[in-house]
Amino acid sequence: MNKERIIDDFIKMIKIHSPSKKEKEFADYMVNLLKELGAEIYLDNGFKNYGGNAPTIFAKIKGNIEGEGVTLAAHMDVIEPNSNVNPIIENGIIKTDGTTTLGGDDKGGIACIVETLKTLKENNISHEDIYVLLTPCEESGLQGAKNVDWTLVPENIKPAKNMLVIDNAGRAGIIAHTAPSKYDFEITFKGRKAHAGIEPEKGINAVCFAAHAISQMNIGRIDSLTTSNIGIINSNSPTNVVPDTCFVKGEIRSHSEEKILEIIKEYDLACKKAAEKFEGTYEFNYICDFPTLKPKDNLKFAKEFAAVYESLGVETELKVIGGGSDSNIFAKEGYNSIIIGVGMNNVHTVDEYLEIEELYKTTEAVIKYISK
């Protein structure tokens, strides 16, 4: 591993602006780089379904050892504001001048992948097939991963089932293996308009209707593996009109989809009872945003990678997390993912920074795992 090179590559990457739906320049950069490293490339054009401009990149580095291989995955988009990043290196971290995000989420992960491939190639290290999977639009609803047309991916380039997703916040050594499903729900409460100052009794206030229903819902931490939240309540009505419509949007996360559906039924019942009280009507719609992520091998892969970390003196922690990632989407296709970090902190904020030593540790672990 070349420590100076990995930092140089990371700096180059974060200076290429790649917000969600506008990752083409960075995707072109990565395609050219992967080709230079000897990769066979396939580009999925699912971005056309959601108005983006960059493909999901599938790459394969042919190995010289028999085996199932391994997949290295990361995402190419970053959280705004991220234009004209001014990176500052000091005290073992890389940060910005405070006007932009850094883009370490997830270009730190991509820098790790690139350095792994460069090190293996220049040192002629034997390895099984290596697959690289880089997605656009992860930060905007996992759209890149969701819109891959797997029927068009050539069989010889379909990724290996064991997948290292290098996109975890925090230090090296934390290995996330389980994550919840998330369902989004939308409720439209319908009342009746009336003049709020002259004859309010003739109206049915949809905001009050919605508030009553919500007051009967269990929101927040429901149990150790289940959470719920309402983030949007909107009627957009002038104050002199009794509002006839109120729109509510929220989410439920759980490691049990059965639990989510049970909660949805409870919420629907709360709406029904409120409708009877207020003599209004409502529409309740929900959709699975992403499924659960669970190990498919009783944590065998996670424990194998933990052993590599520990052999390098890195303390490990196998972890259940509450967020979602591309891993949840890939799980539907049978992929067995673990999510590891490279020292990114305060992600999604202008205070974001990357711990250089943690980037080194994970890159060294990935190289060692692949060259086992």
Q: Are 113 and 72 in contact (CB under 8 A)?
A: yes
Q: Which residues of 252-284 are buried (b: 16+ CB within 10 A; e: fewer)?
A: bbbbeeebbeebbeebbebbeebbeebebebeb
Residue 75: closest CA among 153, 13, 145:
145
Tokens of 321: 């997390």
336-341 and 162-168 strand pairing:
parallel
Tokens of 256: 């049990």
Cα Rg for the chain, rounded, in angstroms? 24
AA identity, residue 89: I
The four Cα atoms 106, 110, 113, 115 give a dihedral, to 10 degrees, of -120
97 a catalytic residue: no
In this prediction the pTM is 0.91
44 a catalytic residue: no
User: Which residue out of 23, 77, 105, 128 is catalytically annotated?
Assistant: 77
Please report, in tens digits, the pLDDT of each residue of the chain (372 residues total): 999 999 999 999 999 999 999 999 999 999 999 999 999 999 999 999 999 999 999 999 999 999 999 999 999 999 999 999 999 999 999 999 999 999 999 999 999 999 999 999 999 999 999 999 999 999 999 999 999 999 999 999 999 999 999 999 999 999 999 999 999 999 999 999 999 999 999 999 999 999 999 999 999 999 999 999 999 999 999 999 999 999 999 999 999 999 999 999 999 999 999 999 999 999 999 999 999 999 999 999 999 999 999 999 999 999 999 888 999 999 999 999 999 999 999 999 999 999 999 999 999 999 999 997
- Decide: helix, strand or coil at residue 219: coil
* pLDDT of res. 354: 98
Other C-beta atoms closer than 10 Å to the C-beta of 46 total 21
Phi and psi, residue 65, nearest 5°: -125, 135
Any bridge partners for residue 337, and if so which?
A: 163
Cα angle vertex 257, ends 51, 247, to 5°?
Answer: 55
Other C-beta atoms closer than 10 Å to the C-beta of 205 total 24
Cα angle vertex 48, ends 327, 157, to 5°?
Answer: 50
Q: Are 18 and 137 in contact (CB under 8 A)?
A: no
Q: Are 140 and 73 in contact (CB under 8 A)?
A: no
User: Which residue out of 138, 289, 352, 364 is catalytically annotated?
Assistant: 138
Give the separation between CA 272 and CA 51, rounded to whole angstroms: 37
Give the separation between CA 346 and CA 93, rounded to whole angstroms: 12
* pLDDT of res. 141: 93
* pLDDT of res. 193: 98
